Copies of this chain bind each other. A is one copy, B any other.
């Protein structure tokens, strides 16, 4: 049986009220007494029963999710997962609010973050835009003791407590190796379609991709990156154009969103040639393209896992509890047509 507050009170030779004062850092306890209690807590290995405490406090966890207002499948999916989490709110004692900010706009993100100081949520999850002022705003909030996790896109070098997203450098490297191995000994050019080189996750994917390509597959040359702004129309135009101009393209790596346009371009322009294509994010479109062999592999991050993980971590941090690291590691899913969920 795990020890209760009564056990500590008895062990420390103090009253229940004093134990309560120590546990909830209320004033009016002499230093020596506080130490006696803390010793008892340590020796008995007491851990507060969070369920009972939450019941007594009537506690809820007000959480804020800050997302970019991007109109692509992945962000829609992320939003949907947050709505699912909202449906579970009463059971999980959460109270989730989402705030949309203009995409790629550090100033807007910073102003939202600054507004949160007054709102006092017990945790914040944000899709980070990688900029010094954002980093500074996050660090400020962390110093004010707000639990903060970055979602999908990290903010390296900041004080955020946790990152709920995939390792994008590893994702890029993995894409490169898959593409290289699938192409075998063929020689040719590789087109890379990105959203924007201003977003950290895209930059990192490209970095990992280029590194492995250079190290291991020198017969494959990477063409200048096409920046499709995660927009299907732009992506379509850029890819169609690239395919027309370079007859020697034998592989494509799409590391951002807007794959609808990519797929259309491939079907129009590449019927006569054998292209190996790797794309990110499993959506209705990419799934169909994987099945009909337009795409050869899809790398994916599971938005549901990211959202649930962010919530678990924020709650744990708010309670000062440890997280199960292995459980919170967001994995890179690799889908071939055979292991689709």
Residue positions of A touching B, CB distance < 8 A: 2, 47, 49-52, 54-55, 88, 90-91, 167, 170-171, 173-174, 176-178, 181-185, 208, 212, 296, 302, 304-305, 308, 324, 326-327, 329, 331-334, 336-339, 341
Contacts and interface: CB of A to CB of B under 8 A. Distances in A.
A185 to B, nearest CB: 7
Top 8 A-B pairs, shortest CB-CB distance: A184-B184, A173-B338, A51-B51, A334-B334, A174-B339, A170-B339, A2-B90, A174-B338
A254 to B, nearest CB: 18
A327 B304 contact: yes
| Residue of A51, A55, A88, A327 with highest tally of chain B CB at under 10 A | A51
A59 B305 CA distance: 29
Contact of A181 (B47, B88, B181, B185): B181
| Residue of A167, A178, A338 with highest tally of chain B CB at under 10 A | A338
Nearest to A305: B327
A116 B169 CA distance: 49
Describe A's contact surface by its main secondary structure: helix
Contacts of A329: 341
Nearest to A212: B338
A339 B173 contact: yes
Contacts of A302: 326
Nearest to A184: B184
B55 A51 contact: yes
| Residue of A302, A305, A339 with highest tally of chain B CB at under 10 A | A339
Contact of A178 (B171, B185, B331, B336): B336
B308 A171 contact: no
A108 to B, nearest CB: 31
29 contacts: A47-B90, A50-B91, A51-B51, A51-B52, A51-B54, A51-B55, A52-B55, A167-B339, A170-B339, A173-B339, A174-B336, A177-B336, A177-B337, A177-B338, A181-B296, A182-B182, A182-B184, A183-B184, A184-B184, A184-B185, A208-B338, A302-B326, A304-B326, A304-B327, A329-B341, A331-B333, A331-B341, A332-B339, A334-B339
Contacts of A50: 91
Contacts of A208: 338
A336 B304 CA distance: 24
Contacts of A326: 302, 304
A213 to B, nearest CB: 12
A293 to B, nearest CB: 10
A297 B337 CA distance: 17
